[in-house]
Amino acid sequence: MFDKVFLSKELDRINTALKKEIDLLEPAVRPLAEYVLLSGGKRLRPLLTVLCFRALGQTGDEVYPLACAMEFLHSATLMHDDIMDESLLRRGMPTAHTIFGKNSTILSGDVLLAATMLIVLRYKNFQILQRVAEAAIKTAAGEVVEIANLRNSDLAFADYLRIIEGKTAWLTSCACEVGALQAGGSPEQVKAASVYGFELGLAFQMVDDALDLAPESSTGKPSGGDIREGKITPPLYFYLEGLSAEQRDEFLLKFSSGAFDSADITRIVQDMLAGKLDQRTRDLAEEHLHKARAVLESFPPSIYRDLLHELSFYIQIRNH
């Protein structure tokens, strides 16, 4: 899997750059920003930006603020998302709004969104600015569409895909593409970076949906949260396939009205795990990861291309 020494060094550089960017924020926002940005996280999006930049032959440090912008944008969406979902935990820690209050968290998320654009402006590259702005719009729009379809038992799988394209795939695509743009990649390489990130993002969200069935001790979030919140995801599609018409009607009636209690959620999750619906969802994600690996052929051979390739396997098997 990953070269742990390389990964550790890159994460240290990203975290150092994040601290510098946080120090540039308004003092009133810094404590909340530090709590959200420095309390852990995979740093997937900034790492993707750095890897795509390096994979196209660049060795400079100018990429790190751009990578931080991706983490700012991602964190802002999580802060807003946690409030909308009324989530109490993220990564096993209390969510920001439970500590700092909803109003401060919403406004601080807005600050991070604006700070993202200020960081990007330093690069004086219209393509990068446009791509980041589009990703911010697509991500927010994806969340709006998801909210509009909560407890919608008629949601088609194609509509589910459109939701996760917005809420996850566009931002991971952007993280990869801006790294390639800053590296001066060819149009073909920039497109490959974009497609790689897009397919990786789809797979990442699908694995996230599979992990909704995992115990809270693994993910830091209560098991079965998607069912409780009324979200249609692949495990639920698969689950419905195995029910009789009568069972399906009964399930969907309770799902649509939010009538499940904790015992119901526990039973449904256990049934899903017994049917290995989490693994079926991971298998679905693998189809997108295969597409992501295929486009990497546009990049020249290097350790960084290898790392991007290996990252796709990590996404498929991750357990938190």
What is the set of domains in the chain, with CATH numbers? 4-317 (1.10.600.10)
DSSP string for 38-84: SS----HHHHHHHHHHHHTT---STHHHHHHHHHHHHHHHHHHHHHH
Compute the distance between CA of residue 312 and CA of residue 296 in angstroms, rounded to an integer: 11
Its pTM stands at 0.95
Q: Is the dihedral of CA 50, 78, 295, 179 positive or negative?
A: negative
pLDDT tens, residue by residue, 12-61: 999 999 999 999 999 999 999 999 999 878 899 999 999 999 999 999 99
- The pLDDT score that the predictor gives to residue 289 is 98
**C-alpha pair distances (Å), 247 with each of 56, 242, 270:** 54, 9, 16
Compute the distance between CA of residue 217 and CA of residue 145 in angstroms, rounded to an integer: 30
* More confident position, 84 or 191: 191
pLDDT tens, residue by residue, 192-226: 999 999 999 999 999 999 999 999 888 888 899 99
pLDDT tens, residue by residue, 144-177: 999 999 999 999 999 999 999 999 999 999 999 9
- Is the pLDDT assigned to residue 2 strictly greater than 70? no
